[in-house]
Amino acid sequence: MTTAIEALNPPDADLDDWLDALDGGSPPSPGPLADELEQAVLAAFDVDGPLARLDPGYKPREPQLQMTRAVARALSRRQALVVEAGTGVGKTFAYLVPALLAGSRALISTATKSLQDQLFLRDLPRLTKALNTPVRLALLKGRSSYLCLHRMKEARLSGEFPDRRTALSLARIERWALGTASGDFAEIDGLDERSPIIPIVSSSRENCLGQDCPDWKACYVVKARREAMEADVVVVNHHLFFADMTLRDSGVAELLPSVEIAIFDEAHQLAEAGVQFLGTLLGTAALLDFGRDLLAQGLAHARGVHDWQALHGGIEKAARELRLAAAGPLATAGRELRGMLKLGWKERAAQPGFAAALAGVEAATAAALEALTAVREAAPDFARLCERAQELRDLARTFAAEPDPGDVRWIDIGPHAARLVQSPLDIREAMQQQLEGPPKAWVFTSATLGDDEGLTWFTEPAGLTDAEVLRVGSPFDYPANARLYVPRGFPKPSEPSHPASVALLASRLARALGGRSFVLTTTLRNLQAVADALRERFEEGGDAIAVLQQGAAPKRVLLQRFLDNPRAVLVGSASFWEGIDVPGDALQCVVIDKLPFPPPNDPLVEARVQRLEAQGRNAFAEYFVAEAAIALKQGAGRLIRTETDRGLLVVCDPRMAGMNYGRRLRAALPPMTPVANEAEALAWLQELNSDRA
Nearest to 256, CA basis, from 524, 486, 441, 480: 441
| Architecture in CATH of 478-692 | 3-Layer(aba) Sandwich (3.40)
Q: Looking at residue 465, what is its pLDDT?
A: 93
- Does residue 251 surpass a pLDDT of 70? no
29 residue type, one letter: S
- Does residue 335 surpass a pLDDT of 60? no
pLDDT band for position 90 (cuts 50, 70, 90): very high
- Does residue 350 surpass a pLDDT of 90? no
pLDDT band for position 659 (cuts 50, 70, 90): very high
DSSP 595: -
Rounded CA separation 562/516 (Å): 8
Cα torsion 669, 494, 271, 139 to 10°: value is: -80
For the stretch 609-655, pLDDT in tens is 999 999 999 999 999 999 999 999 999 999 999 999 999 999 999 99
Nearest to 204, CA basis, from 269, 120, 289: 289
29-33, 120-124, 517-521: range with lowest mean pLDDT? 29-33
In order of 194, 526, 546, the CA distances from 534 in angstroms are 29, 12, 9
- Does residue 7 surpass a pLDDT of 70? no
For the chain, what are the domain ranges?
A: 4-104+440-470, 284-334+346-404, 478-692
**% of the chain residues with pLDDT over 70:** 92
pLDDT band for position 336 (cuts 50, 70, 90): low
Q: Looking at residue 4, what is its pLDDT?
A: 43
Exposed, middle or buried: residue 685 (CB in 10 Å: 0-12, 13-18, 19+)? buried
- Does residue 150 surpass a pLDDT of 60? yes
Nearest to 296, CA basis, from 460, 153, 408: 153
- Does residue 544 surpass a pLDDT of 70? yes
Q: Looking at residue 1, what is its pLDDT?
A: 54
Rounded CA separation 290/316 (Å): 9
For the stretch 252-285, pLDDT in tens is 667 778 899 999 999 999 998 888 888 889 999 9
Write out the H or E segment, with its range, that includes residue 674: strand 673-675
pTM (two decimals) = 0.87
Q: At what angle do helices 36-44 and 91-101 cross, to 10 degrees?
A: 130
Q: Looking at residue 375, what is its pLDDT?
A: 93
- Which position has the higher pLDDT, 295 or 248? 295
Nearest to 338, CA basis, from 560, 577, 549, 168: 549
Q: Determine how β-strand 482-485 pairs with β-strand 647-651.
A: parallel
- Which position has the higher pLDDT, 42 or 332? 42
106-115, 189-198, 666-675: range with lowest mean pLDDT? 189-198
* Cα 108–Cα 109–Cα 112 angle in degrees, nearest 5: 140
Residue by residue, DSSP assigns 185-254 as GGGSTT--TT-THHHHHS--TTT--GGGSTTGGG-HHHHHHHHHHH-SEEEEEHHHHHHHHHH--SSHHH
pLDDT band for position 212 (cuts 50, 70, 90): confident
For the stretch 311-322, pLDDT in tens is 999 999 999 999
Q: Looking at residue 189, what is its pLDDT?
A: 86
146 residue type, one letter: Y
Q: Looking at residue 693, what is its pLDDT?
A: 62
- Does residue 2 surpass a pLDDT of 70? no
Q: For residues 437-443, give the mean pLDDT.
A: 92
Q: Looking at residue 24, what is its pLDDT?
A: 35
pLDDT band for position 50 (cuts 50, 70, 90): very high
For the stretch 373-412, pLDDT in tens is 999 988 888 999 999 999 999 999 999 998 887 889 999 9
b/e string for 191-225 if b means 16 or more Cβ within 10 A? beeebebbbbbbbbbbbbbeeebeeeeebbbbebb
